[in-house]
Chain A
Amino acid sequence: MSIGNFPFVVAALLIVLGLYALLFKRNLIKMVIGISLIETGVNLFLVMAGYRTGGMAPIYTLAPTPIRDMVLPTPQALTLTSIVIGLATTALLLSFAVFIHRHYGTLDIQEIKELNG
Chain B
Amino acid sequence: MNGLQSGFGAWNPIAWTLLFLGVLVIALLVRSRGRRDYKRGTGQTRVFLSGNEEPEERGGLHVRGDNLYWGMIDGLAAYYRRVRALHTGVLSDYVAWLVGALALMFVILVLVG
Q: Check A-B contact in the complex, CB < 8 A.
A: yes
Residues of chain A whose beta carbon lies under 8 Å from any beta carbon of chain B: 19, 22-24, 26, 31, 109-110, 112-117
Quick check: is B67 within 8 A (CB to CB) of the other chain? no
Quick check: is B35 within 8 A (CB to CB) of the other chain? no
Question: Smallest Cβ distance from B81 to chain A, in angstroms?
Answer: 11
Kindly state the separation between the CA atoms of A24 and B95 in the bound complex, as whole angstroms. Answer: 10
Quick check: is B92 within 8 A (CB to CB) of the other chain? yes
Kindly state the separation between the CA atoms of A12 and B40 in the bound complex, as whole angstroms. Answer: 79
Residues of chain B whose beta carbon lies under 8 Å from any beta carbon of chain A: 84, 87-92, 95-96, 99
Q: Are A31 and B91 in contact (CB under 8 A)?
A: yes
Q: Are A116 and B87 in contact (CB under 8 A)?
A: yes
Kindly state the separation between the CA atoms of A31 and B89 in the bound complex, as whole angstroms. Answer: 16
* A114 proximity list for chain B (CB < 8 A): 89
Residue from B89, B90, B99 in contact with A117 in the complex, judged by beta carbons closer than 8 Å: B89
Q: Are B99 and A19 in contact (CB under 8 A)?
A: yes
- Apart from A23-B95, A112-B89, what are 7 other A-B pairs with CB-CB below 8 Å? A23-B92, A24-B92, A31-B92, A109-B90, A110-B90, A113-B90, A117-B84
Q: Are A23 and B89 in contact (CB under 8 A)?
A: no
